Structure 1
Amino acid sequence: MPRYKYEGRDTSGKKSGVITSSSKRDALEKLKKEGIRVTLLNEVPETLLTKEIIIGNPVKLQDYVIFLRQFSTLLQAGVSVVDATKILAEQTSSKVLRRVLLEVEEDLRAGNPLSSAASKHKKIFSPMFINMMRAGEAGGNMDEILDRLAIHYEKQNKTKQKIQSALAYPIVVGIVAIGVIIFLLTAVVPTFVSMFEGFNAELPAITKFVLASSEFMQSFWYVVILLFVGIYVGFLVLKSNKKTKYYLDYAALKVPIFGKMIQKAVLARMTRTLSSLFSSSVPILQALSIVESVVENEVIVRVLRESRDSLERGRSITAPMKKHWAFPPLVTQMIAIGEETGVLDAMLAKVADFYEEEVENSTDKLKSLIEPLMILFLASIVGTIVTSILVPMFEIFNQIQ
């Protein structure tokens, strides 16, 4: 939260110090309540020690949707944009959103439009929000556009949660499997080593492999940790580079089982965003540029860029899409019909509805398929380690008899 250095006077004389507040106006109000007449108030520059560290999205999507819904309702009720912003800042549960809304309120009171005030906080307000607000200000239908934005983000959130729920199970089981393997190799298998050393017969190949793995894990456990950390860091580095990200996204769309689901989710997000922008009267070229930053898949982004170039040359938006395998005929045909009939936003909305439903069905089927497969995977790993120990023990037992 911002810190402000102030100078002023109260009944006892001169006063100075530092106050923490969400905005400059809020700081003035706090000092006024304390009986201090402020003569100087400046924001203290942030340092590494005072800077607020935010990991992930600054504002949760759920809080953002609630904000949009309430904003739309307040405007429909006749509340001014300035007062609505103040009300929402006071009641939101997100500290980051509260601070930003208070700063936006200050800009609004200074005479700036909402789109201009929001553009100063691009980590909170996306280019889509800013451009749709600009269109709403010009058309005088900001309440409708806010409601449309809320529906857009609600559907996006629902699709995202469906995919996360489908991927969560294999990830959790995978982590449990790694934990079980490490525990067996470091705590259970070593207790049988001395027994096997006294066993003169040749050990089975599977037992030798498990004993060697156990010895390696005990001696070089840090190598395994560094390997996983290195893979994760390497993935982030590759993803941050546009060229390598293209190949990662290409592989994600081609991976068996999951690839089709990811493709449908990306297409649903693309068509839903385009539909929302077109229905809000955002220019088509500008809308395509915004979607490029929203889709987050470099394969689709490149095609959208080609579509934008095609439009600039006076050709159809679907020309590059028809040549690419990532765009099924349903998408290109519906967009082409929308272009010809002048109802592109409605056609895109229908495509988005279709693919959102497809993602929901795919994730439900995937979860029912993955659960038994992951249980079988975990059982086979544990069974292999246990078998490698039991087979030599049976041979020892037979020799004793």
Structure 2
Amino acid sequence: MGMFAYQGQRLSGEKVIGKLEATSVQEVRVQLKEQGIVAFQVEPINALLNKELDLGFQKVKTQDFVLFLRQYSTLLKAGIPIVQATTISAEQTTSKPLRVALKEVAEQVNSGIALSGAAKGHPAIFPELFTNMVYAGEMGGNLDEILERLADDYEKQHRTKQKITAAMTYPLVVSVFAFGVVVFLLMVVVPMFANMFANMDQDLPIITVIVMEAGQLIGRFWWLLLGMFVILFAMFAIVKNDPKVRFYSDRFLLKIPVIGKLVQKALLARMTRILSSLFSSSVPVLQALEIVERIVKNEVVNQVLKDSRLYLEKGESLTAPMKGHWVFPPLVTQLMTVGEKTGTLDVMLGKIADYYEAEVETGTDQLKAFIEPVMIVALAVIVGTIVMAIMVPMFSLFQNFN
């Protein structure tokens, strides 16, 4: 997919300019034709010149985006025209990237471009899920309801993500702190006593010898250890986009004891929540699966979703590839099968999402309650071992003086 700038004219004679995301110039012309626009000029936007769309600081915080959706939905329900509602939302939001994007969208909508088409020109601001559901709302005439549903879904997804982040951040921070303390003790504190112990006319305890050797090793070869970390990080950065590397790294993450189960539940909650929203908005099934593949960003889950699309194209069940796969528990496949047979797949997916969101919330609380004492004990053992390695010979030295 790439960005294309275009100039064209409506049947009424009004000239329009804008940007669209598409795979080719021909696809842009087809999209514009569907909107009643005759394209005079379509040119791809240079990726480097358009790079600012993907800069991290231009991302919109979930809280700001949810607030925008709430306000926008309320304005549309009150009967305010889309252009005016977009302009008001731009003035109300405190997010600068969102404000700039909304002003540009308002100008494009005022020139006759559909809201979904205008939003596609800002992929860093408006996610693909948003643009596709807005398009469904435009076609179904229930845009305000869809925006309100989107706000609910984004809030639920954000809570789940925050829970997972909090559960992962605590052990990471403690581990980094512990590593820093250990390195400081081995490189600074232990060498201060090494010379003293070297002059002692007695054998040192094995624990002291090991700690002193470790301190000397780190002191001599710290640059080598740092270089190895840098090389490993660089290698991972280079190969991380390789599909096979992503598949096995995602698989490894899901197989980690305790944490893997939590990540799996969070993925299932996110996948089913998005699918439920898309299906309830009448987005075609195949298109909905493609959207979820790009949003979930887990190669193990995506591989199953691709197989599901192939099965659907053959006229078979959506859940056929999921049954028996270790990522998808029986609860998921059974409820989805019931939904397929009864025509309530969106409702069933919503129930699955509710269940796993609650599971993630409970699981993260339990994980934090388990990790905290374990990390404290581990840190105490490591630091205590180093302190003991120093203190034991000191006690022996004091006894000799006495």
TM-score bin, normalised by smaller chain = 0.7 to 0.9
Aligned to 1:35: none
1:175-212 residue CA offsets vs partner (Å, 9 max, x unmatched): 11011112212221111011011013222232222212
CA distance in 1, matches of 2:137, 2:235: 43
Deviation at 1:345, TM superposition (A): 0.3
Change (3 A) 1:57 1:373: farther
CA distance in 1, matches of 2:54, 2:102: 19
CA distance in 1, matches of 2:366, 2:58: 30
CA distance in 1, matches of 2:189, 2:224: 20
Change (3 A) 1:46 1:242: closer
CA distance in 2, matches of 1:231, 1:383: 31
CA distance in 1, matches of 2:178, 2:378: 9
1:326 aligns with 2:327: yes
- 1:61 is matched by which residue type in structure 2? T
Deviation at 1:62, TM superposition (A): 1.4
CA distance in 1, matches of 2:254, 2:391: 43
Aligned to 1:351: 352
1:269-296 residue CA offsets vs partner (Å, 9 max, x unmatched): 0000000000000000000000001111
Aligned to 1:41: none
CA distance in 2, matches of 1:273, 1:387: 54
Which ranges in structure 2 are unaligned for 5 or more consecutive residues? 1-17, 19-45
Aligned to 1:311: 312
Deviation at 1:217, TM superposition (A): 2.9
1:179 aligns with 2:180: yes
Change (3 A) 1:396 1:300: same
Report matched runs for 1:66-105 at 5 Å.
66-105=67-106
Q: Helix, strand or coil for the counterpart of 1:177?
A: helix
Deviation at 1:362, TM superposition (A): 0.4
Report matched runs for 1:1-400 at 5 Å.
54-55=55-56, 58-400=59-401
Query: Quick check: 118-127 or 328-337, which moved more?
Result: 118-127
Query: Quick check: 214-223 or 91-100, which moved more?
Result: 214-223
Change (3 A) 1:53 1:215: farther
Deviation at 1:67, TM superposition (A): 1.1
Deviation at 1:127, TM superposition (A): 1.7
Deviation at 1:325, TM superposition (A): 1.0
Change (3 A) 1:261 1:286: same
Query: Quick check: 101-110 or 55-64, which moved more?
Result: 55-64
CA distance in 2, matches of 1:55, 1:211: 45
CA distance in 1, matches of 2:144, 2:206: 71
CA distance in 2, matches of 1:52, 1:343: 38
Deviation at 1:400, TM superposition (A): 2.7
Q: Helix, strand or coil for the counterpart of 2:240?
A: helix
Return the TM-score normalized by structure 1.
0.85
Q: Is the 8 A contact 2:53 2:123 kept in 1?
A: no
Identity of aligned residues (%): 54
Deviation at 1:125, TM superposition (A): 1.5
CA distance in 1, matches of 2:146, 2:208: 66
Q: Is the 8 A contact 2:275 2:288 kept in 1?
A: yes
- 1:273 is matched by which residue type in structure 2? I
Which ranges in structure 1 are unaligned for 5 or more consecutive residues? 1-22, 24-44
Q: Is the 8 A contact 2:86 2:102 kept in 1?
A: yes
Change (3 A) 1:57 1:399: farther
- 1:289 is matched by which residue type in structure 2? E
Deviation at 1:220, TM superposition (A): 3.2
1:321-368 residue CA offsets vs partner (Å, 9 max, x unmatched): 003111000000000000000010000000000000000010111111
Deviation at 1:242, TM superposition (A): 1.4
Matched residues, number: 357
Change (3 A) 1:57 1:204: farther
Q: Helix, strand or coil for the counterpart of 1:320?
A: coil
CA distance in 2, matches of 1:64, 1:51: 19
CA distance in 1, matches of 2:94, 2:53: 17
CA distance in 2, matches of 1:238, 1:46: 21
Query: Quick check: 212-221 or 90-99, which moved more?
Result: 212-221
Change (3 A) 1:180 1:100: same
- 1:208 is matched by which residue type in structure 2? V
Change (3 A) 1:165 1:47: closer
Q: Helix, strand or coil for the counterpart of 1:359?
A: helix
Q: Helix, strand or coil for the counterpart of 1:322?
A: coil
CA distance in 2, matches of 1:362, 1:307: 29
CA distance in 1, matches of 2:57, 2:166: 19
Question: Aligned-residue CA RMSD in angstroms?
Answer: 2.1
Change (3 A) 1:249 1:56: farther
CA distance in 1, matches of 2:220, 2:309: 57
Change (3 A) 1:150 1:252: same
Deviation at 1:213, TM superposition (A): 2.2
Q: Is the 8 A contact 2:323 2:333 kept in 1?
A: yes
